Chain A
């Protein structure tokens, strides 16, 4: 089985599906000849040409609106937004149009597409190249939101997203685009969009702590769990993979087992997805809790440039939360 990084795995998924599905086109700023700002679409233009790998004018609203029109006609557009931070000029198209089209047309005009965009910090990108806006899309009815943490899952989740009937925001954690490596099966496979992954299973029952994480922060959760183990605290780590709709069953089963939960995300704390996760845990597993649910998140500030490692909820910030929760 070949080893790939996440960029290669996503590229492999795009190529595979474009060969399989003639309706599919890739579009965006410099996705063609250049192969995208992170080279995720490299080589696609050479194989599929101008008609299926489309360099567009620089306008996220134009890219997404045009993609919606293609989708209404029956194509499968896969627009790339260069950085999730740039998605806001197209947010109106996503929120007011894309998310609502199936519903408001009574099912006559679903607009199927997968919007790919890199998210997250840790690449010295500063405030406009580092944001994690997932909760802004989870809040909007009609969208699915996916964020892989491994090359294997990136390929399988992307193929599943492309074949899913609903519009998907596919958030690619850019900090681990190349830093994550792993075995990726050749050829076709999908990773179920409705299932979280238990990245580490705890065997010590109610002495353990559940950590919920996704994307690049999964690795920080793992590092924190390793440190916690040295201090006698075991963690069960759940990689959400699909953020919405949520695999609540896997989360609740784990929290009922451990009675403790720490939620990690890069996005700002207030009204971040962690807030919803805490609410769901309280609604579904309150009687099983041994400690208050904890959140380790970005701050309620813009994303800083030089001090980005202070902002990010790295393992050294996760560890105390895990230990406190375990010893509550």
Chain B
């Protein structure tokens, strides 16, 4: 049964974003496959939430420079990444960079990265939330908003015969950039196996004149699109799975618009009725509960506390990191600059 149709290339109705979990925690029968993964989804959302809360605290303490928090939007991140197979790739922007911790990057490595310390895998070169990992198949977040979207298309084209797909995240504001147009245009022309997941945080009325919101923009590129409620990771998983399946079958790219509800008032308080963590907890409780919940949170907090403590004591990145990896071999002019005190 087709649970969460990715529509043919015509604008979706904006009447309601797709949901799987009802207010009382009941998961609609059509989403039985996804419902089997409720605990896994909750653990992912909890991991992102707790890590981001810790990074916000570290930023406010002045220990790290910045943090692009995805709090309140974790349903989009976790639901979409849960739709991937191991060989698939993810192209996040900074606000989704924490998805690398769902694919094998440890909290410790991520916190070291946020500090830019001596044990940061990127040796302090770039600000927080720009971590990438080839082992995790997570590409580098872009320098400018939306700049990675065409990278995702090129990577998808390159792997089009390998049965793998690319997941590219974008902020709704990036849907106004030329990068977005280039990416969707090239993806349509090349039938690249890529799924664009666009977070709409509710402030995107300046970014779309199209019928069907941001998702409606896909029509012009011949791509199907869908709208889904980001407070419902189950629904996100279902829709992105369907889009990924299309891509895997050689049917090309899709655009999924995910309506999220991050706190926009400077607090970390996600509206209770729009909280992806609470939505999953309601569904899990309705299905019989999860006795491991407190233990998982406790372990997460301990892991993050250890990571923060380790980062505080790790020392600064080496001066050589400024010069190394500009080119593979250090050219003469950089040898001279590196050697100069």
Contact = CB atoms under 8 A, between A and B. Distances in A.
The answer to whether A binds B is yes
Find the residue from A57, A68, A141 having the highest chain B CB count within 10 A: A68
Interface residues of B, number: 46
A56 B186 contact: yes
B325 A96 contact: no
Interface stretch (A99-107, A215-223, A296-304): A99-107
Contacts, number: 132
B326 A142 contact: yes
Q: Do most interface residues of chain A lie in helix, strand or loop, or is the interface mixed?
A: helix
B231 to A, nearest CB: 31
Contacts of B159: 73
A57 B329 CA distance: 35
Contact of A106 (B123, B153, B190): B123
A106 B179 contact: no
Contacts of A97: 142-143, 147-148, 151
Find the residue from A70, A100, A105 having the highest chain B CB count within 10 A: A105
A287 interface: no
Interface in A48-95: 56-57, 59, 61-62, 64-75, 77, 89, 92-93
Interface residues of A, number: 42
A62 B144 CA distance: 15
Contact of B130 (A56, A96, A104): A104
A66 B150 contact: yes
Find the residue from B121, B123, B148, B155 having the highest chain A CB count within 10 A: B155
Contacts of B333: 245-246, 248
Given A100-B143, A142-B326, A166-B328, A106 B121 contact: yes
A179 B159 CA distance: 41
Contacts of A232: none
A177 to B, nearest CB: 28
Find the residue from B150, B154, B324, B331 having the highest chain A CB count within 10 A: B154
B29 interface: no
Nearest to B185: A57
Contacts of B149: 65
Given A56-B186, A96-B142, A97-B151, A69 B156 contact: yes
B53 to A, nearest CB: 26
Given A96-B144, A108-B132, A245-B333, A66 B154 contact: yes
A65 B147 contact: yes
Given A62-B185, A73-B158, A103-B325, A68 B150 contact: yes
Interface in B96-135: 121-123, 125-126, 130, 132-134
Given A62-B150, A62-B182, A96-B143, A69 B158 contact: yes
Interface of B: 89, 91, 121-123, 125-126, 130, 132-134, 139-140, 142-144, 147-159, 178-179, 182-183, 185-186, 189-190, 324-329, 331-333
13 contacts: A57-B186, A64-B150, A65-B182, A65-B183, A70-B154, A73-B89, A102-B328, A103-B125, A103-B325, A105-B122, A109-B134, A142-B326, A246-B333
A-B interface, 5 closest residue pairs, ranked by CB to CB distance from nearest: A69-B154, A65-B150, A62-B182, A96-B143, A245-B331
